[in-house]
Amino acid sequence: MGMRYFAGLVTLVLASMTVVTAQEAKTRVKHEAAPLTSPASGKEMFLSYCASCHGKDAKGDGPAATSLKALPADLTTLAKRNGGKYPSDKVTSILRGQTNLVPHGDQEMPVWGPVFWRMSQGHEELVQQRIANLNRYIESLQVK
């Protein structure tokens, strides 16, 4: 059963992670597995799991952004777009896959909750730690 979860994780991650390479002025998407990161580092998780689409600076301009149906959100303006208050609960809900994002259509953005659960071998406290630290890191990127 553990091998099934691992195989499922690999399949899910391969299907969800994208890296874009340019070839003859044509965008080509390369799928690869997400690396295992420390649940303690929101920045490390963001750079490993989110930056390919949202960009290293979280402005929605990552190398894979142009291959999506809709451009990724500028995550640095979440608070600004929500009356000056960072929407922590909404970000948590999105990361867990509990909120459907209209621009993502057929769920182009990976639902990280189940991926984090498998990475953490079913330890919910590690899943919560990953999501909380990733959420805090995104909050730290908000424009003033």
Residues 36 and 57: their CA atoms lie apart, in Å, by 21
Q: Are 40 and 129 in contact (CB under 8 A)?
A: yes
Most confident of 54-63, 66-75, 99-108: 54-63
At 101 the pLDDT is: 66
CB count within 10 Å of CB 106 equals 5
Please provide residue 23's backbone torsions phi and psi, each rounded to the nearest 5 degrees: -145, 115
At 116 the pLDDT is: 86
At 73 the pLDDT is: 93
At 70 the pLDDT is: 84
Its domain, for residue 21, covers 2-140
Q: Which residue has the tokens 């730690």?
A: 129
How confident is the model over 89-113, as a mean pLDDT?
74
Per the structure, how many domains does the chain have? 1
At 5 the pLDDT is: 45
Residues 88 and 141: their CA atoms lie apart, in Å, by 13
Residues 75 and 87: their CA atoms lie apart, in Å, by 11
Average pLDDT of the residues of the chain: 78
The band of 69, judged by pLDDT with boundaries at 50, 70 and 90, is confident
Query: What 8-state DSSP symbol labels residue 66?
Result: G
